Structure 1
Amino acid sequence: MPTFSFRLTLFLVAVYCTIIHTGYAQRTQKPPLHGKNWMAITGKPLAATAGAKLFNDGGNAVDAACAMLAATCTMWDVLSWGGETQALLYHPKLKKVIAINALGVAPTGATVDFFKSKGYAFPPEYGPLAAVTPGTPGGLCYMLANYGTKSLADVLKPAMEMAAGYPIDAQTANSIERGKDRIKQWPYSKDVFLVHEGETREGPEAGEIFVQSDLLQTLQKMVDAEQSALRAGKGRKEAIMAAYDRFYKGDIAAEFVRGSQEQGGLITKADLANWKPVEEEALHVNYKGIDVYKLQEWTQGPALLQSLNILKHFDLGKMGYNSADYIHTVYQAMNLAFADRDFYYGDPYFLPKTPIESLLSDDYAKVRAKEINPTKNNAFAAPGDPYALQGKKNPFSALLIERAKLSDTTDSGIKDFVPKHDATPAVALANSSRGAETADFSADSAYMDRLMRGTTSIEAADSAGWVVSITPSGGWLPACIAGRTGVGMSQRLQSFVLDSLVSPFNVIAPGKRPRVTLTPSLALKDGKPFLSFAVQGGDTQDQNLLQFFLNVVEFGMTVQEASEAPNINSNQLWLSLGGTKIADRKPRAGSLLLDKRVANAAIEKLKSMGYTIQLGERTSGPINAIYFDQKHNTLWGGSSNNGEDYGIGW
């Protein structure tokens, strides 16, 4: 009979062989989702159910995605109806990825001089002066009209049932309570959110039926416009766009503008009437035979593409997952890509024209890859010169020299890596030994809150081949509601800059789109859908998504394993959100957040390479993803274990 030690040896060999075979193995906290016909994943269980309802009623992935979008906005899943929508769609008949730009624009009067006259270094974080024009209602109508199959009434039905009253979740209820002092500044917000005004707890309680009568009326008006158009003999698409017109040009628009201006906002009727969503060409690069698609440079999405181009020049698999060399190389590549993002990205429909073609070229990636020192962090990672590849003089050479003086590379100063909405404290290590905690966990929470601010993400796919990836946002709590519309206004104006020294392509101007952090992703292999993935988390989004993609492609993880796997975050970049002065957003050289599961040896080596190390329970926003199993013709769903995100498959 075999001895215990012999049996143990056989077991360990079997485990080792399994790990070698799969490239990576871990027990996930959530099981992977499996489906043959469809998959619906988003930020709240009830909202995922809304998507499932549309699928069960015969809708396609676009219908389901639009239903989830409407539901998450109604549930204030760190966004509202007045926010913005960014989407990538795979069209199975055209065999093409389609990009939808439904980001609002800066309103009339939103100029550099206006905000500087009020003492701002950046546009404000909250209130009516933080708002771009709403984009989500228009984006939803456009996607549904052009690529869906259902009526607006069908798609909005779950959201309208929620607006009539749904049991509010603890996360949202507590967010309202935490923000109640700010909410009290805005009369329409106070009426909606502070349902127990004057009591100790003024916001709703978890599980309480939360009613939004004004929002319900707004959604009903849109449905009424659609139904009226159908009765008049209009087609499905025209009828949906009649609802669009009522929101942007009719009585809904009039009340939105009135409510905004009453509270000090700048948005005009002309701003709403002149705005429209834009269908664009998606950007993409090829990494090891996989075409990865992102939205254009009005988002930070191309930074992931640049990072992949740089990382082509390194053998990541040989380095080993989350080894010191792997972490260092990925960190350096991201820093170079984000340095370019910080300076060169902006609205492509405004001048100066961004040099995105050169930034995404293989030749430029080779230049940037050679800048990586394999043994030391580059504390002075700066924007490159994509114009040189075109044989042109960089028109901003002088700005780049002057701008370098803004970056403080000597004091990372990180004491706290805890976003306000995360309950798990991180541990600052700096030059101390593992586990030595600092006494102060509050000094830098505002910075980390700005870095990792969340939104939601939406992933949908069906057996006919339609795929949708959306990262909507804006109008998060505490939100300023515009009049009796029930619609919370966006806070995206803060992603502009007021000084070309920070970014000459992203200086605020009326009618212009700010460069946003929001970044859905699609990947094709052999011309067929391979991955659909997105995440919440401000400037960390494309950091997290880059590593998720590498987890699958380089280390053979399933989408659930990859969504739960340890992540790293770099803070050596300019923040896109929050802060009242330049110092609030400056890069922090060598600042590196690691998951507490990273090995001691790797941490010690990274410290010797010039990093200031912090450990945390949470190192990524909730990642949602769908993997397309071409071998078995099935769908795999992954949804991270560190949020309320949830998926349903069939």
Structure 2
Amino acid sequence: MAITGKPLGATAGATTFAKGGNAVDAACAMLGAVCTMWDVLSWGGETQALIYNPNTGKVIAINAMGYAPTGATPEFFREKDMNYPPEFGPLAATTPGTPGGLMTMLAEYGTMSLAEVLAPAMEMAKGYPIEAQAANSIEAQKRRIKEWPYSKKVFLPHLGEEREAPYPGEVFVQEDLYQTLFKLVETEKQALADGKSRKEAIYAAYERFYKGDIAKEIVRGTREQGGLFTEQDLANWKVKIEEPLSINYKGIDVYKLQEWTQGPALLQSLNILENFDLKSMGYNSANYINTVYQAMSLAFSDRDFYYGDPDFGPKSPMKGLLSKAYAKERAKLITENNDPKIGPGDPYPFQGESNPFINLLKSRNDVLAYDRPELPIQGLDDPFLEHFLKGTTTIQAADEEGWVVSITPSGGWIPAVIAGNTGVGLSQRMQSFVLDEKLNPFNVLEPNKRPRVTLTPSMALKDGKPFLSFAVQGGDTQDQDLLQMFLNIVEFDMTVQEAAEAANIHSYQMQSSFGAHEIKPGSITLNTEVPSWVRNNLKKRGYKMDFQNRTSGPLNAIWFDWKHGTFWGGSSNHGEDYGIAW
């Protein structure tokens, strides 16, 4: 089974399966394809994955998040009168992570060559009929694209005409990107000819990207446009294979990436909600929505203050944050009416320590970008929502041997700075750092540090076997949608497709990870089908509501039917996400 954000991407995964690849091979082929299609990401972005290894029965975490370059400090950006690193441009870029993530997954857990899994992406780079979504996004962003010479060269083939972007359906050619991918495949081929193993040959290509001529051109092209990358930054960066974090919810083990992502917030939310009889409340009743909303507020306020790169000090108090006892105390704060002042808790006593940041907690609200509007947010054209829902894509794959892959890759979305003559669009993830420790002492910008990101694949095991593999795009709403999808299946007996399309709620009572990092306490998006009596009840509880026709988010998932020995795939009706199974 192969599922991702675009039908062409899913086709790349399906054809890889047809050639004998496993789920990791198929996932890598899909990743290469969607990066080439600019499906809200590019080759210079970042990749995060969970992989279930049937040979060990363990879930593996892949950390292919780039880090901040040399010279990227709070002082550097404050001198430019910035409260956060910028949303766009060369100064928004972390080092490229996706190429390293793809090659590491393939080398360690795949079966095919790099040439085989990159074949769909390379064919598309030579030219494919561009989709309307990407083509129109380029046209809409062309003013900013023109600021960067290499982006202008790639994105605007009709420069000077009324429409300067490609037309929908026009064959879109990316020759520079093709040459970059060809160099990787060429390096692998030479290594194999020299007697290297499959794994060694893939890592030879990895070395060329991060230490060879490709790296030199990425650095040259980025610095020419005002970026900070050095060759040493790329050479020193490494993909990390990590232990995921997990909790048990009613007999199901749920896995997320470590606290350099927002993933543990879903685990915290489940721990809190385990203290309530959600099923008896009824799906999307006023009581259920109020309880889930406040549980998320409690978990995400902890995310906003305590999460950050675990390779840097201070060390996040994850033992306390994920403890059942801490969750029980937090659950006591959920009331009949929404509390817009819910803030971070103190998890340190729950791991036998004293909180060294208690004074920062008290002063935190003074520097938050609070926005308490009289009216709710006004729909998808609201600039706040545009930031909050920043795009990504997802990849899900599973095979008959038992390999399962869940990926949430992102970064380098349109409008992206392209790094010289490589065709590689750079990430915009620097904006997820903070410059003021009062906001989050664990996520203050430092060179070679990874920002705390929204990207958050998910996996769940039951009785030691895969139960659900799931992911969604959508910035800060990702773990909100994933939480509700999981509850839809576990508490309300929905099929995976019903759960993917079911009406979710979205909360904005958490700090946005993008732009000006705003927060809108009490604001909530509901589905237009929510009945009037639920709306009226929530209004009395203090919620500021807006409504959308589709509120599932582009959820993709695989549910494992062990009774019949089959996979059930789910892909929501929110966007163009698509799955192919055999």
TM-score normalised to the size of structure 2? 0.99
Counterpart selection for 2:247 from 279, 285, 307 = 285
Q: Residues 345 and 609 from structure 1, CA distance in 2 versus in 1: closer, same or farther, beyond 3 angstroms?
A: same
Residue-by-residue CA offset, 1:426-461 (whole Å, 9 max, x unaligned):
xxxxxxxxxxxxxxxxxxx11010111111000000
Q: CA shift at 1:411, angstroms?
A: 2.1
Counterpart selection for 1:496 from 428, 433, 449 = 433
Equivalent residue of 2:235, what SS?
A: helix
Equivalent residue of 1:157, what SS?
A: helix
Q: CA shift at 1:416, angstroms?
A: 3.7
Counterpart selection for 1:360 from 314, 319, 322 = 322
Equivalent residue of 1:171, what SS?
A: helix
**Is the Cα–Cα contact under 8 Å of residues 417 and 593 in structure 1 kept in the other structure?**
no
Counterpart selection for 2:343 from 369, 374, 382 = 382
**Is the Cα–Cα contact under 8 Å of residues 110 and 508 in structure 1 kept in the other structure?**
yes
Q: Which residue of 1 aligns with 2:551?
A: 619
Q: Residues 473 and 413 from structure 1, CA distance in 2 versus in 1: closer, same or farther, beyond 3 angstroms?
A: farther
**CA–CA distance in structure 2, aligned partners of residues 410 and 492 of structure 1:** 23
**CA–CA distance in structure 2, aligned partners of residues 290 and 305 of structure 1:** 12
Q: Residues 118 and 289 from structure 1, CA distance in 2 versus in 1: closer, same or farther, beyond 3 angstroms?
A: same
Counterpart selection for 2:574 from 622, 642, 649 = 642
Task: Please tell me the root mean square deviation across aligned C-alpha atoms, in Å.
Answer: 1.0
**CA–CA distance in structure 2, aligned partners of residues 222 and 392 of structure 1:** 49
**CA–CA distance in structure 2, aligned partners of residues 459 and 411 of structure 1:** 38
**CA–CA distance in structure 2, aligned partners of residues 603 and 415 of structure 1:** 13
**Is the Cα–Cα contact under 8 Å of residues 454 and 621 in structure 1 kept in the other structure?**
no
Equivalent residue of 2:25, what SS?
A: helix
Residue-by-residue CA offset, 1:94-119 (whole Å, 9 max, x unaligned):
00000000000000000010010011
**Is the Cα–Cα contact under 8 Å of residues 22 and 399 in structure 2 kept in the other structure?**
yes
Within 5 A, what are the aligned runs for 1:133-532?
Answer: 133-373=95-335, 375-407=336-368, 411-420=372-381, 445-532=382-469
Name whichever of 390-399 and 153-162 sits farther off. 390-399
Equivalent residue of 1:555, what SS?
A: coil
**CA–CA distance in structure 2, aligned partners of residues 194 and 379 of structure 1:** 45
Counterpart selection for 2:36 from 59, 66, 74 = 74
**CA–CA distance in structure 2, aligned partners of residues 366 and 353 of structure 1:** 23
Q: Which residue of 2 aligns with 1:13?
A: none
Q: Which residue of 2 aligns with 1:590?
A: 522
Counterpart selection for 2:25 from 60, 63, 70 = 63
Equivalent residue of 2:38, what SS?
A: coil
**Is the Cα–Cα contact under 8 Å of residues 49 and 63 in structure 2 kept in the other structure?**
yes
Counterpart selection for 2:6 from 44, 50, 58 = 44
Equivalent residue of 2:519, what SS?
A: coil
Counterpart selection for 2:490 from 535, 553, 560 = 553
Q: Which residue of 2 aligns with 1:124?
A: 86
Q: Verify: 1:599 aligned to 2:531, yes or no.
A: yes
Q: CA shift at 1:589, angstroms?
A: 1.4
What letter corresponds to residue 520 of structure 1 in structure 2? P
Residue-by-residue CA offset, 1:53-87 (whole Å, 9 max, x unaligned):
11000000000000000000000000000000000
- Tell me, which stretches of 5 or more residues in structure 1 are unaligned? 1-38, 421-444, 580-584
**Is the Cα–Cα contact under 8 Å of residues 412 and 589 in structure 1 kept in the other structure?**
no
Q: CA shift at 1:618, angstroms?
A: 2.9
Q: Residues 220 and 413 from structure 1, CA distance in 2 versus in 1: closer, same or farther, beyond 3 angstroms?
A: farther
Q: CA shift at 1:419, angstroms?
A: 3.4
Residue-by-residue CA offset, 1:603-640 (whole Å, 9 max, x unaligned):
11111111111111232420000011111100111111
Q: CA shift at 1:89, angstroms?
A: 0.1
Equivalent residue of 1:101, what SS?
A: strand
- Tell me, which stretches of 5 or more residues in structure 2 are unaligned? none
**Is the Cα–Cα contact under 8 Å of residues 417 and 616 in structure 1 kept in the other structure?**
no
Q: CA shift at 1:466, angstroms?
A: 0.2
**Is the Cα–Cα contact under 8 Å of residues 412 and 612 in structure 1 kept in the other structure?**
no
**Is the Cα–Cα contact under 8 Å of residues 412 and 590 in structure 1 kept in the other structure?**
no
**CA–CA distance in structure 2, aligned partners of residues 522 and 170 of structure 1:** 32
**Is the Cα–Cα contact under 8 Å of residues 412 and 591 in structure 1 kept in the other structure?**
no
**Is the Cα–Cα contact under 8 Å of residues 247 and 253 in structure 1 kept in the other structure?**
yes
**CA–CA distance in structure 1, aligned partners of residues 354 and 389 of structure 2:** 36
Q: Which residue of 2 aligns with 1:441?
A: none
TM-score normalised to the size of structure 1? 0.89
Q: CA shift at 1:310, angstroms?
A: 0.2
**CA–CA distance in structure 2, aligned partners of residues 82 and 205 of structure 1:** 24
**Is the Cα–Cα contact under 8 Å of residues 125 and 578 in structure 1 kept in the other structure?**
yes
What letter corresponds to residue 133 of structure 1 in structure 2? T
Q: CA shift at 1:413, angstroms?
A: 4.2
**Is the Cα–Cα contact under 8 Å of residues 292 and 523 in structure 1 kept in the other structure?**
yes
Q: Which residue of 1 aligns with 2:511?
A: 574
What letter corresponds to residue 295 of structure 1 in structure 2? L
What letter corresponds to residue 478 of structure 1 in structure 2? P
Q: Which residue of 2 aligns with 1:423?
A: none
Q: Residues 413 and 151 from structure 1, CA distance in 2 versus in 1: closer, same or farther, beyond 3 angstroms?
A: farther
**Is the Cα–Cα contact under 8 Å of residues 261 and 456 in structure 2 kept in the other structure?**
yes
Q: CA shift at 1:599, angstroms?
A: 1.3
**CA–CA distance in structure 2, aligned partners of residues 83 and 407 of structure 1:** 28
